Amino acid sequence: MSILSLILALLLEQLRPISSRNPLYLGFIRTANGMGRNLNAGEYRNGVYAWLIAVVPLVALTAGGYWFLRQYNLAFAMLWSVLTLYLTMGFRQFSHAFTKISKSLQAEDLDAARAMLGDWTGQSTSELSEDEVARLTIEQGIIDSYRYVFGTIFWFVALAWMVGPAGAVAYRAACLLQQKWGGHGDMFGRFADAVMDVLDFVPVRLAAISFAIVGNFEDAVYCWRSQAQQWMNQDYGILLASAAGALGVRLGEALHQDHTVKFRPELGVGESANRDYLASAVALVWRSAILWLAVILLFSIAQWMA
C-alpha cells in the first residue's frame, strides 16, 4: 500500500501542485516563529520542549487518523496517506522556482533570475553573475529535492507499517523547525539541529548513492569521498558533491555577495555549472526518484510474496 500511496500522491501533485504558501504550511511556520519568540529562554531544554510541543501533536493526529480509518476500511486509510503525502512531499514545491529561473536564464534575463533566486533562497543575489545564479540554483534544487522528496519518502516508508504517513509529517515538521530555529549556534536551536542530523544520516547517503547510480558513478563516489567533508553542512556536502560528480560539473566555488567575494569549497569535476546544466540537474533528480520507487516496488512485491 505504501508504493501505491506514493505513486498516487506524486501524480496528484503533478496534476494539481500545492503551493508552499498553503494555509497549513504558513500556519505551522507562524506557530514555529511564535514559539521561537516566546519559549526561547536561552536554554537547551527550552528547545527540546518547544520541539516536542510542535511535532508530537501533529504526529499523533496523523497516526491516530490513519489507525482509526484503517479499522474501518483500508481504502480510506490509503487515501489518508495520499492526502498527507500530497501536503508534505512533491517535486513542484521546489521545481516551480527552479523552472522559472531556468527560463529567465535561457531568455538572458539575468535580473529576473536573480530576483527569483533571492526570493527562493533568502540570499543576496543582486551581484551574482549568470554562472553563479546557475550554480546556486542547482545547489538549492538538489537540497530542496532531498527535503521535499527523498527524505520525506524515506521516513514515510520506514514508519508506514507502524504509524502510516506520520513519518513523513515528522520529517517535514522537523525540517522546518531546524530551518527556523537551528543553524544559529544558540542553545535553543541545538536540539532541532541534532534531530535533523539523526533523521538525515541514512536518507542523505541513500540519495547520494542514487545520484551516483543514475549518473556518473565513479565521479560521484570520488567527489563524495574527497570533497563532501569540506562543505559547511556535511550532509548537504554529501548531496551536492555526489550530484556534482554525477552530472560532471563543478558546484560550490566563489560567489559575489554583499559587496565581497565569498569563497566556498569546490564540489564536483569538469567545467563550472552554467544555465545549460539546469535541465540535467532536474533529470538527475527525476531518475533518482524513479529508482527509489522501483526499489520500493520490488521490496513491496517481495514482502507480499513472503
Taking alpha carbons only, the member of 150, 18, 6, 15 closest to residue 93 is 18
CA angle 98, 115, 183 (to 5 degrees): 75
The confidence score (pLDDT) of residue 19 equals 73
Phi, psi (rounded to 5 degrees) for 228:
-60, -40
pLDDT at residue number 60: 97
* DSSP element (H, E) containing 262: strand 260-262
Please give the pLDDT value at position 149.
94
Q: Read off the pLDDT of residues 75-112 as tens digits, 9 standing for 90 and up.
A: 999 999 999 999 998 777 777 788 899 999 999 999 99
∠ CA 42-44-45, nearest 5°, is 110
In degrees, to the nearest 5, what angle opens at C-alpha 87 toward C-alphas 84 and 88? 85
Residues 6+ apart with CB under 8 A from 200: 151, 235
- pLDDT tens-digit series, residues 199-256: 999 999 999 999 999 999 999 999 999 999 999 899 999 999 999 999 999 999 889 8
Lowest mean pLDDT among 42-46, 70-74, 149-153, 300-304: 300-304
Q: Report pLDDT digits (tens) over 67-79.
A: 999 998 999 999 9
Pairing of strands 249-252, 271-272: parallel
pLDDT of residue 49: 96
pLDDT value, residue 140: 94
pTM of the model: 0.94
pLDDT score recorded for residue 14: 85
Q: Are 146 and 99 in contact, with CB atoms under 8 Å apart?
A: no
At 269, the pLDDT band (50, 70, 90 cuts) reads very high
